[in-house]
Protein backbone atom coordinates (compact mmCIF):
# COMPACT_ATOMS: atom_id res chain seq x y z
CA UNK A 1 0.00 0.00 0.00
CA UNK A 2 1.36 3.41 -0.96
CA UNK A 3 0.21 6.24 1.28
CA UNK A 4 0.10 9.92 0.26
CA UNK A 5 3.10 12.16 1.11
CA UNK A 6 1.16 13.87 3.92
CA UNK A 7 1.08 10.63 5.95
CA UNK A 8 3.95 10.90 8.45
CA UNK A 9 3.40 7.76 10.55
CA UNK A 10 1.55 4.44 10.49
CA UNK A 11 1.22 2.41 13.70
CA UNK A 12 -0.98 -0.09 15.57
CA UNK A 13 -1.35 -2.16 12.42
CA UNK A 14 -3.90 -4.95 12.29
CA UNK A 15 -4.25 -7.10 9.19
CA UNK A 16 -6.88 -9.78 8.76
CA UNK A 17 -7.48 -12.02 5.82
CA UNK A 18 -10.13 -14.38 4.52
CA UNK A 19 -8.85 -17.33 2.49
CA UNK A 20 -5.27 -16.25 3.19
CA UNK A 21 -2.76 -16.34 6.03
CA UNK A 22 -0.89 -13.15 6.86
CA UNK A 23 2.74 -14.06 7.48
CA UNK A 24 3.82 -10.55 8.47
CA UNK A 25 4.24 -6.99 7.25
CA UNK A 26 6.73 -4.16 7.11
CA UNK A 27 6.45 -0.39 6.90
CA UNK A 28 9.08 1.52 4.97
CA UNK A 29 9.81 4.93 3.46
CA UNK A 30 10.50 5.45 -0.24
CA UNK A 31 10.59 8.72 -2.19
CA UNK A 32 9.15 10.62 0.79
CA UNK A 33 6.13 8.32 1.14
CA UNK A 34 5.15 5.59 3.60
CA UNK A 35 4.52 2.08 2.30
CA UNK A 36 3.02 -0.96 3.99
CA UNK A 37 4.05 -4.32 2.55
CA UNK A 38 2.03 -7.35 3.67
CA UNK A 39 3.34 -10.88 3.26
CA UNK A 40 0.60 -13.37 2.48
CA UNK A 41 0.96 -17.13 2.67
CA UNK A 42 -1.12 -19.95 1.29
CA UNK A 43 -0.52 -23.64 0.67
CA UNK A 44 -2.54 -23.53 -2.54
CA UNK A 45 -3.76 -20.93 -5.05
CA UNK A 46 -6.92 -19.19 -3.88
CA UNK A 47 -9.39 -17.60 -6.28
CA UNK A 48 -10.55 -14.79 -3.99
CA UNK A 49 -8.93 -13.21 -0.98
CA UNK A 50 -10.13 -10.49 1.36
CA UNK A 51 -7.61 -8.44 3.26
CA UNK A 52 -8.63 -5.89 5.89
CA UNK A 53 -6.29 -3.18 7.14
CA UNK A 54 -6.74 -1.29 10.38
CA UNK A 55 -4.24 1.11 11.87
CA UNK A 56 -3.44 4.54 13.21
CA UNK A 57 -2.47 6.87 10.39
CA UNK A 58 -0.88 10.18 11.41
CA UNK A 59 -1.09 12.99 8.88
CA UNK A 60 1.03 16.14 8.78
CA UNK A 61 -1.05 18.64 10.83
CA UNK A 62 0.01 21.48 8.51
CA UNK A 63 -1.28 19.74 5.38
CA UNK A 64 -4.32 21.15 3.59
CA UNK A 65 -7.58 19.26 3.95
CA UNK A 66 -8.13 17.10 0.88
CA UNK A 67 -9.54 13.83 -0.37
CA UNK A 68 -6.90 11.37 -1.49
CA UNK A 69 -6.38 7.69 -2.22
CA UNK A 70 -4.13 4.94 -1.00
CA UNK A 71 -2.61 2.96 -3.87
CA UNK A 72 -2.68 -0.82 -3.58
CA UNK A 73 -0.17 -2.92 -5.48
CA UNK A 74 -0.41 -6.69 -5.80
CA UNK A 75 2.54 -8.93 -6.59
CA UNK A 76 2.63 -12.71 -6.86
CA UNK A 77 6.08 -14.29 -6.78
CA UNK A 78 4.50 -17.47 -8.19
CA UNK A 79 3.55 -15.86 -11.51
CA UNK A 80 2.52 -19.14 -13.06
CA UNK A 81 -0.21 -19.69 -10.46
CA UNK A 82 -2.62 -16.85 -11.24
CA UNK A 83 -6.27 -17.73 -11.85
CA UNK A 84 -6.48 -14.72 -14.16
CA UNK A 85 -4.27 -11.82 -15.15
CA UNK A 86 -5.32 -8.20 -14.85
CA UNK A 87 -2.94 -5.35 -15.62
CA UNK A 88 -5.53 -2.63 -15.02
CA UNK A 89 -5.22 -0.08 -12.25
CA UNK A 90 -7.41 -0.92 -9.29
CA UNK A 91 -10.30 1.50 -8.80
CA UNK A 92 -10.20 2.63 -5.16
CA UNK A 93 -13.97 3.18 -5.18
CA UNK A 94 -14.57 -0.56 -5.62
CA UNK A 95 -15.22 -2.44 -2.43
CA UNK A 96 -13.39 -5.60 -3.47
CA UNK A 97 -10.02 -5.64 -5.16
Residue 65 pLDDT > 80: yes
pLDDT tens, position by position, 8-59 = 999 999 988 887 888 889 999 999 999 999 888 877 777 777 788 899 999 9
In terms of Cβ atoms closer than 10 Å to its own Cβ (0-12, 13-18, 19+), residue 34 is buried
The CA distance from 57 to 6, in Å, is 10
3-state secondary structure of 32: coil
The predicted structure's pLDDT at residue 96:
40
Least confident range of 53-62, 63-72, 81-90? 81-90
Cβ atoms of 73 and 2 closer than 8 Å: yes
Amino acid sequence: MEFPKDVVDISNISLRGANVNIAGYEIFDKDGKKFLKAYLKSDKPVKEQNLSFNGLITVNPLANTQNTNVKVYIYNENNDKYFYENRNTIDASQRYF
